[in-house]
Structure 1
Amino acid sequence: MSMDLTELFSPQHQRLIKLRTVLSGTQELLLDSFSGREALSELFSFEVKLLAQDAHIELKSLIATPAQLHIALVDGDVRHLDGLITRFTLEGSDGGLATYSATLSPWLWLLSLRQDSRIFQERTVEDIVIAVFAHYREWARFEFRLGTPGTLRSYVTQYFESDLDFVLRLLEEEGWFFFFEHDDQGHRLIITDRSRDLSPIPEQPQIRYHRASVTESSDTITHWSAQRHLQAGRFSAQTNDYKQPHNPLPVSMPSLNKQGDIRPFERYYHTQPCSHRDYEVGEALLRRRIEAYEREAKDFNGVSNCRSMRAGFTFELVEHFDHDRDVREDRQFLLLSVEHQGRNNYRSPKPADYANTFTCIRHRIPFRPALTVKRPVINGPLTAVVTGPDDEEIFTDELGRIRVRFHWQRDRRDAADDRREDSDDSAWLRVAMPSVGSGFGHQFVPRVGQEVIVQHMAGDLDRPVVTGMMYNGNHPPPYFSGMAGLPGNKALSGIRSREHRSKGYNELLFDDTPGAVRARLASTHRATALNLGKLTTPRQSGSASARGEGAELRTDAAIALRAAQGMLLTTYARTDANGAQLDRQELLELLDQCAELFKALGQTAVTQGSQPLDEQGFDAVCHALKQWPAADSNESGDPLIATAAAAGIVSATPRSQVHVAGENHDTLARRHVQFTSGHATQLNAGKGIALFSEDDGIRAIANRGKVLVQAQHDDIALNAQQNVQISAEQGEVVISAPHLRFVADDGSYIKIGGGIEIGTRDEVVVHARAHDWVGPRTERYSLTMPPPADAVCLECLLKAALSGAAQVTL
């Protein structure tokens, strides 16, 4: 047996297929047989059966090490098949001969061992693939041969995918395919988008067709068949782009396949949202989809012993009865897949042999890979944290979008990706709102650090949207009115905001505590609040102290109430919110009653000689008030302020109080009008003062000080139906004038001035104890009257006061 083994393990250079591994000497491995498949956009895999003298080779010593098959060609050249040993198995041992098996895979297979989740932004597929390959630097040999640069991808997610599935998926979506080139240094991954540029098989650019029943010394094709598949004849697609929502960018085009007279069936796609933002890009995307189907419309299968055949290369078929009449372009074919089988003759008297089966298409037909790698689908919600620059609390854009960092993302940077930035964690995500419209709707922009719920449109991992927010340990539920929250305040609900970069807030609070229902709209700026319902102190742990009932509008700043079509302030009740907005019946009835008194007394005063009342202002205001629109009317009312109180009105101030009327100021009371002042009470009138009392007279009393009554430019008339009494308890009564005349009803008189004249038709009686008639004597009384005042335009003064003018022409 030792003689046989020595011959068996003699140098391999005489064998058809040789194997080279890292082992040598007594551990050298011989290739007994191999089989495998290589194809465009597939990882090749070769299964090899091996022989060795050593049955104790440590299995892990060969795992992930390179191995090469050298297949001798007819012309003496060598075809290389290179790979990494990804499986090594001891099959058995018989005497001094051990049997092993192994699997050879490309270095790209290593990507199936690593799984990752991350986000790429604003990169082409080429950039992304290079970033992934950076994790395999010691094995990765690759080359891009692209006719058209890849499109810039705004957002691409790898979500718990192996690096292999992720890369293959991106290449398929981009319409790129790959194959491997082998040489004595190893194998290289070639990624390309132009099948028309692929090269002929260098060792055998032409291959003859030759039936297997005929003896042939060269490598030939021994079986050839063609098959055609019915395909869709038209393809259409459209997308949705939220930046141009009214334009779905529909594209449609026919297939170039010639399928006879059958009508073209249409295949319609609604592509990934924002898959294309103009028609040119959409047409290119659809064209790639179509080409993936067109290349499946017709293909060719064959069997050969051509040892130089490999996927990704072309050949020209010659001497085939069905193609010799074709033009040369139609006789050139692109190899899509090759399945190899070969064996040496170490343990068999039969000669070593090699054969393959293959699939190809005409070279002029563009090749595009089918979409075979499924995109991960995210059906459920995910959580994330809002991110932004360190100096920003609210980080958003013109569409209200935000950036987030998913909880599934790693905290550490990818050391293998030199281009990755922290801002790559997330793209701008749209935020769902309860309502949206053209310039209207809700706006609640999540802030940096808050936790949000993210869902993906139709499960598309590259189209996330923020659909909600959640509280967590760092962001507890709101403390309404600054007091402790749940669970004590479980009856509270509402909205509380927070001042940007500060501690203030606004809140809309609903308190549904049994028996103490209230609502509150408030801002911490100047403690401004509108409180409704059962007014209480801020509720803490469910408890609060009563402050009142009803409504309270308060602020530490100013309040303005403006109503362009009227304002009604009333305490006449409309219980349970019954009645119309401007219900004022009680006020109108009171005004009618007062109007009756106003006009009746005014007419009586005129009858008794007083000045007539100006009723126009009163009537105009009452008329305007009655004409306020009804509840079901869209008409406008006059801008009046009407105040009515069932139990009285109190108006008080420690300072001055001013009432101004541009026209009349009418004050009516069904009982008394009473004016009291701690100091002076002054009545100034531009055109007269009329006082009329129907009953009980008029009293003018000065407790201290002088009573002065003057008519500076006219007479004073004092009339009484009965007596006129003038008395002075102390001092004297002085009546002074240039002429004094006292006249009695019977005509008797006394004239004083320029002497004294007494006249009567009856006797004159003078009673005195004595009569002393002395010489002439007079006295004088000095009456000081103010100088005449200039005429003043009262109407001009009023207009200037109402308008706020600084100057007025009188």
Structure 2
Amino acid sequence: MHLNKIFSQADRQGRLSTILSKDALVLLRMDGTEELSGDFTWRVEALSDDPALDLHGLLGTHATVEVDHADGTRAFDGIVCEAEARGASENGHRYDLILRPWLHVAGLRRNMRIFHDKTVVQIVEEVLGAYAHLGDPHLDVQVTGEYPVLEYTVQYGESDADFMRRQLERHGISWSWRHVAGSHTLLLTDAAFSLPEVPGAARPYYGVAGYHRHEEEHFRLWTAAERITTGAVRLTEYNFKTPSASQEVEQAGEATHPNGDMESYDWPGDYLDQGAGRDVVARRTDAARGQAPRHRAEGDVASLGAGWRVTLKGDDVPGATGRTFVCLKAEHRFRAQGYGSGDSGGDETPYDGSYVLMPDDTPYRPEQRTVGPKVQGPETAVVVGEGEIDCDVHGRIRVQFHWDLDAAHTMWVRVSQNWAGKGWGGMVIPRIGMEVIVEHLRGDPDKPIVTGCVYNGKNTPPYELPEHKTRSTFKTDTHQGEGFNELRFEDEKDKEEIFLHAQKDHNTTILHNESHQIGNDRSKLVGNDQKERVNRDKQIDVGRDHVETIGQDEKKTVMRNAERQVDKDSFDYVNNHRIEYTYANHQEEVGAHHYMKVEGDSEVAVGQKLFTRSKMQVLHAKDKFIIGGPGGTIEINSSGVVIRANKIDLKGPVNVTAGAPDQIASLESAINEGLDLAEVCIRKLTDE
């Protein structure tokens, strides 16, 4: 049914505007709720002469309800999030719209990303920058405090809206909305004085008797309430960089009730040091204090909304008149004049509101109502960084999660080791490209820790599986080169083995004893030099043969005595020269026979006396035997015995055995040869 009726909102106190043509939808009523550090919802009932409005075209666009009041016009802007055609009535076609802030759109997009080295304000600005086209402006930052640079903040499966809320609540920053026709702006504040005041600043309170007898906006009802709250807050934290430093902070509140000294204790406190902790505990205390005083009001103050300040005047309200209050929550109700016989009701009280307020000198911090995400169980990531190995002084590494579309690496993440003491323990640094297992302390995505490594299709095990399933190994890879170090265990039956491979050096330090027991053979191959030093005694026991082959020289130095015992035979083979020096006495004992064979010459030089003793001594020369001294020689050769001397003295009997040469003949022969002996004999005869 198409009604030939033209609707007009001209000269009406309440009006609705959309992207449709003017007065295509006219306002019947609006019910709405808004809250400081929360959202707003405007439920709008509208009338149209068109039964087939383009509802889809309305979605995601701005719509504004404007309500005139004595001090101006209040706009209730919002994004059309729902639109419903309710059918025809006797005076037109009904449509319902639900308007919400553009932050509702941000709540429809979930994201996973990492922010590095940014303050909470910078993070919020970056997150909400994607929605800048939905407001003019979309964001107004009016914070006065200084906020720390956050090394690492993760949006983990949260909507942009929830992530923003969680971060603002975490740092005690409140938010509210400012509306104009066709737009609304998100206002961030951290102090009550940064909040705007309603036009004219003050609104009166008139009792019920005076309600609606005045044209100006006013309150008809005002009540006050108090609530019991925590009296003090105590927090503590842990910072691995300063593990011994106290992180405990506390702050007492101002509660004066009998349980006002009641303390709330929490951990973790979400700070790095006591200085930051004092700021956190102050915010927690302020949040508790801010829950105590509440004032509730009703009236027609359309200009008052959540996040606005108003000063109370008019009839006296004890403890309230003359004070300024912050509106925490407002509920708005507007009923338009009728557009036909079916819409009766006068325009006497078109707007009515109810409000929750608190004194503006009471500290306010938003409650931490937004539940943060919890990482359910471990996940894996890939180690990233510079070069092949990248870590900091604490052995921390950086990783990239598989879900990170921006390819942003994490902060420095600690790596779990099998042991970690003061200067001792285990140390294995995961390398670039490895897939590691990452868990999160208490499930907090801002607190990752690496707990292990896993193989994948690219990084495969060092040995083919399941062929070598009995092997257990620890194998490294040479940094910036080819090679590896490895300690491997083989548990295959009858092939059990412990294998050690050092790509270059292998150094062992043992401060006390070392024992080796080998049940079978042992082989050692040294490709170059071997040096061994024993500071005290050394003992080697060989059960059977001992064979040593030396390719070149051998040198032994014994600083004191040397003793060698051979229980059976001993053979020394020298293929060239042999020189033996004894610088003091040389004693040699042979228990049986002594045989020496010299192929060439043999010479014995004795500096003083040579003395030999035996039962019988045989000296034999095959060709010639010569005994010589300063006075002559005795030569025994194949011809006989020749004695050459300056003088011969024979003392004692002389026996000449038959067959011996005539002595006279021998002397004559000596004379004939001109020997000295002959000259002596001649002189002797002459003298006689």
TM-score (norm 2): 0.88
Q: Which residue number corresponds to residue 583 of structure 1?
A: none
Cα distance in 1 for residues equivalent to 2:240 and 2:401: 23
Identity of aligned residues (%): 25
Cα distance in 2 for residues equivalent to 1:212 and 1:404: 70
What is the one-letter code of the residue matched to 2:250? Answer: S
Structure 1 491/528 Cα, relative in aligned 2: closer, same or farther at 3 Å?
farther
Query: How far apart are residue 709 of structure 1 and its match?
Result: 2.7
Q: Deviations over 1:258-309 (max 9, x none)?
A: 32x335111001125xx32332211111111111111111201111111211
Cα distance in 2 for residues equivalent to 1:210 and 1:10: 38
SS in 1 for 2:239: coil
Q: Of 688, 698, 706, which aligns to 2:601? A: 706
Cα distance in 1 for residues equivalent to 2:452 and 2:90: 71
Q: Which residue number corresponds to residue 490 of structure 1?
A: 469
Residues 196 and 364 in structure 1, CA contact (< 8 A), matched pair in contact too: no
1:513 aligns with 2:492: yes
Residues 142 and 194 in structure 2, CA contact (< 8 A), matched pair in contact too: no
Structure 1 516/468 Cα, relative in aligned 2: closer, same or farther at 3 Å?
same
Q: Of 248, 262, 265, which aligns to 2:262? A: 265
Residues 496 and 506 in structure 1, CA contact (< 8 A), matched pair in contact too: yes
Cα distance in 1 for residues equivalent to 2:132 and 2:654: 151
Q: Of 606, 629, 632, which aligns to 1:737? A: 629
Q: Deviations over 1:343-394 (max 9, x none)?
A: 11214332131111110001110211000100001130011011113xx011
Structure 1 534/686 Cα, relative in aligned 2: closer, same or farther at 3 Å?
closer
Q: Deviations over 1:197-218 (max 9, x none)?
A: 3232114523223225755223
Q: Structure 1 residues 177-186 or 426-435, which shifts more? A: 177-186
Query: How far apart are residue 768 of structure 1 and its match?
Result: 5.0
Query: How far apart are residue 227 of structure 1 and its match?
Result: 1.6
Residues 230 and 255 in structure 2, CA contact (< 8 A), matched pair in contact too: no
Task: Tell which has more relative contact order, 1 or 2 (C-alpha 8 A, sep 6+).
Answer: 2
- Any gaps of 5 or more consecutive residues in structure 2? 509-514, 635-641, 678-688
SS in 1 for 2:240: coil
Q: Of 647, 665, 682, which aligns to 2:579? A: 682
SS in 2 for 1:646: coil
1:725 aligns with 2:622: no
What is the one-letter code of the residue matched to 1:491? Answer: T
Cα distance in 1 for residues equivalent to 2:98 and 2:655: 166
Cα distance in 1 for residues equivalent to 2:164 and 2:70: 38
Structure 1 466/19 Cα, relative in aligned 2: closer, same or farther at 3 Å?
same
Residues 435 and 442 in structure 1, CA contact (< 8 A), matched pair in contact too: yes
Residues 314 and 321 in structure 2, CA contact (< 8 A), matched pair in contact too: no
Residues 388 and 448 in structure 1, CA contact (< 8 A), matched pair in contact too: yes
Q: Deviations over 1:188-244 (max 9, x none)?
A: 111111113323211452322322575522322112222211111111001111111
Residues 119 and 156 in structure 1, CA contact (< 8 A), matched pair in contact too: yes
Q: Which residue number corresponds to residue 228 of structure 2?
A: 230
1:448 aligns with 2:344: no
Q: Deviations over 1:439-470 (max 9, x none)?
A: 21111111111101100001111000001111
Residues 241 and 248 in structure 1, CA contact (< 8 A), matched pair in contact too: no
Residues 254 and 260 in structure 2, CA contact (< 8 A), matched pair in contact too: no
Residues 751 and 757 in structure 1, CA contact (< 8 A), matched pair in contact too: no
Q: Structure 1 residues 53-62 or 519-528, which shifts more? A: 519-528
What is the one-letter code of the residue matched to 1:701? Answer: K
SS in 1 for 2:113: strand
1:40 aligns with 2:36: yes
SS in 2 for 1:87: strand
Q: Which residue number corresponds to residue 63 of structure 1?
A: 59
Structure 1 650/215 Cα, relative in aligned 2: closer, same or farther at 3 Å?
closer
Residues 335 and 359 in structure 1, CA contact (< 8 A), matched pair in contact too: yes
Structure 1 508/312 Cα, relative in aligned 2: closer, same or farther at 3 Å?
same
Structure 1 90/561 Cα, relative in aligned 2: closer, same or farther at 3 Å?
farther
Q: Which residue number corresponds to residue 87 of structure 2?
A: 92
Residues 331 and 355 in structure 2, CA contact (< 8 A), matched pair in contact too: yes
Residues 527 and 556 in structure 1, CA contact (< 8 A), matched pair in contact too: no
Q: Which residue number corresponds to residue 303 of structure 1?
A: 298
Structure 1 56/760 Cα, relative in aligned 2: closer, same or farther at 3 Å?
closer
Specify which structure has the higher proportion of helix. Answer: 1
Q: Which residue number corresponds to residue 165 of structure 1?
A: 162
1:129 aligns with 2:130: no
Query: How far apart are residue 327 of structure 1 and its match?
Result: 7.8
Structure 1 765/68 Cα, relative in aligned 2: closer, same or farther at 3 Å?
closer
Query: How far apart are residue 769 of structure 1 and its match?
Result: 6.5
Structure 1 497/534 Cα, relative in aligned 2: closer, same or farther at 3 Å?
farther
1:11 aligns with 2:18: no
What is the one-letter code of the residue matched to 1:51? Answer: L
Residues 646 and 676 in structure 2, CA contact (< 8 A), matched pair in contact too: no
Cα distance in 2 for residues equivalent to 1:763 and 1:549: 76
Query: How far apart are residue 550 of structure 1 and its match?
Result: 5.1
Query: How far apart are residue 691 of structure 1 and its match?
Result: 2.5
SS in 1 for 2:56: helix
What is the one-letter code of the residue matched to 1:760? Answer: G
What is the one-letter code of the residue matched to 1:158? Answer: Q
SS in 2 for 1:196: helix
Cα distance in 1 for residues equivalent to 2:451 and 2:676: 103
Cα distance in 2 for residues equivalent to 1:761 and 1:378: 127
Q: Deviations over 1:93-137 (max 9, x none)?
A: 135610000011122221011111000010011111111122123
Alignment of 1:205-220 (within 5 A): 205-211=202-208, 216-218=213-215, 219-220=217-218
SS in 2 for 1:756: coil
Q: Deviations over 1:721-756 (max 9, x none)?
A: 23x3333332x32222234799xxxxxxx9974433
Structure 1 757/203 Cα, relative in aligned 2: closer, same or farther at 3 Å?
closer
1:333 aligns with 2:325: yes
Structure 1 463/699 Cα, relative in aligned 2: closer, same or farther at 3 Å?
same
Number of residue pairs the alignment of both structures matches: 652
SS in 2 for 1:736: strand
Residues 204 and 315 in structure 2, CA contact (< 8 A), matched pair in contact too: no
Cα distance in 1 for residues equivalent to 2:413 and 2:388: 17
Residues 533 and 551 in structure 1, CA contact (< 8 A), matched pair in contact too: no
Q: Structure 1 residues 222-231 or 649-658, which shifts more? A: 649-658
Structure 1 734/280 Cα, relative in aligned 2: closer, same or farther at 3 Å?
closer
Q: Which residue number corresponds to residue 419 of structure 1?
A: none
Structure 1 294/762 Cα, relative in aligned 2: closer, same or farther at 3 Å?
closer
Structure 1 206/751 Cα, relative in aligned 2: closer, same or farther at 3 Å?
same
Cα distance in 2 for residues equivalent to 1:553 and 1:224: 98
Cα distance in 2 for residues equivalent to 1:58 and 1:15: 25
Q: Which residue number corresponds to residue 83 of structure 1?
A: 78
Alignment of 1:18-37 (within 5 A): 18-24=15-21, 28-37=24-33
Q: Which residue number corresponds to residue 311 of structure 2?
A: 316
Q: Which residue number corresponds to residue 560 of structure 2?
A: 663
SS in 2 for 1:341: strand
What is the one-letter code of the residue matched to 1:524? Answer: Q
Residues 68 and 82 in structure 1, CA contact (< 8 A), matched pair in contact too: yes
SS in 2 for 1:169: helix
Q: Structure 1 residues 190-199 or 206-215, which shifts more? A: 206-215
SS in 1 for 2:121: helix
Cα distance in 2 for residues equivalent to 1:278 and 1:528: 43
Residues 386 and 448 in structure 1, CA contact (< 8 A), matched pair in contact too: yes
Structure 1 110/98 Cα, relative in aligned 2: closer, same or farther at 3 Å?
same
Query: How far apart are residue 563 of structure 1 and its match?
Result: 5.1
Cα distance in 1 for residues equivalent to 2:654 and 2:128: 147
Structure 1 700/643 Cα, relative in aligned 2: closer, same or farther at 3 Å?
same
Query: How far apart are residue 248 of structure 1 and its match?
Result: 4.0
Alignment of 1:140-179 (within 5 A): 140=135, 141-179=138-176
Q: Deviations over 1:746-805 (max 9, x none)?
A: xxxx99744333343576667556653533655599xxxxxxxxxxxxxxxxxxxxxxxx
Structure 1 695/181 Cα, relative in aligned 2: closer, same or farther at 3 Å?
same
What is the one-letter code of the residue matched to 2:558? Answer: A
What is the one-letter code of the residue matched to 1:332? Answer: T
Query: How far apart are residue 705 of structure 1 and its match?
Result: 1.9
Q: Deviations over 1:645-684 (max 9, x none)?
A: 1113222223222222112222222333432322333332
Query: How far apart are residue 428 of structure 1 and its match?
Result: 0.6
